[in-house]
Structure 1
Amino acid sequence: MLNPSSLLVRRAINSFVRHGSHGGQPGENLPFSLTNRFRLTAWFIVFFGSGLAAPFIVLRHQLLKK
């Protein structure tokens, strides 16, 4: 016999799984499109490249300051 609190949790999880899906297609809930491979690659290069280049740009700025 299930106690009332576990029954409530089970109902909430079932409701979330039932109503919280987007149809089951991979990439459907992402904030960017996966259809154009070259555009996706360019955005990844810009995103990760800016994060990796930032410390070096800051270091160069600090070393060139008088």
Structure 2
Amino acid sequence: MLSKVGRLTHLTRQFSTSVVRRSEEWQQRGLPGSNMPFNIGNRYKLMAAFIAFFGSGLGVPYLLVRHQLLKE
């Protein structure tokens, strides 16, 4: 029983360190924003994406209420 737990612990430790190593190899270390899934280089494109993302989430309830009120 103890050997199974030991093997499981060893495998989890190996997996977590390999993930950290892999992420460091694929990304540029030390640069702000290098680990983000979107580009932050163009501030106007980033601003438009933020407005579209948050605006759609905040605007949908109002559009649905308007649709319900105008529906006959």
- 1:31 alignment partner in structure 2: 37
- 1:60 alignment partner in structure 2: 66
Cα offset for 1:55? 0.5
Alpha-carbon distance between aligned partners in 2 of 1:18 and 1:31, rounded to the nearest angstrom = 19
Count how many residue pairs are aligned between Structure 1 and Structure 2.
64
Tell me the alpha carbon deviations over residues 25-46 of structure 1, each in whole angstroms, 9 at most, x when there is no partner. 4333433211001110111001
Tell me the alpha carbon deviations over residues 4-42 of structure 1, each in whole angstroms, 9 at most, x when there is no partner. 332232222222221233233433343321100111011
- Give the AA of the match of 2:47: T
Q: Mark the runs of 5 or more structure 2 residues left unpaired by the alignment.
A: 1-5
Quote the RMSD (CA, aligned, Å).
Answer: 1.7
Share of identical aligned residues, percent? Answer: 45
- Give the AA of the match of 2:15: A
Matched, 1:4 2:10: no
Q: Mark the runs of 5 or more structure 1 residues left unpaired by the alignment.
A: none
The TM-score with structure 2 as length reference comes to 0.70
Cα offset for 1:60? 0.5
- Give the AA of the match of 1:59: V
Q: Could you say what secondary structure the match of 2:54 adopts?
A: helix
Alpha-carbon distance between aligned partners in 2 of 1:6 and 1:31, rounded to the nearest angstrom = 31
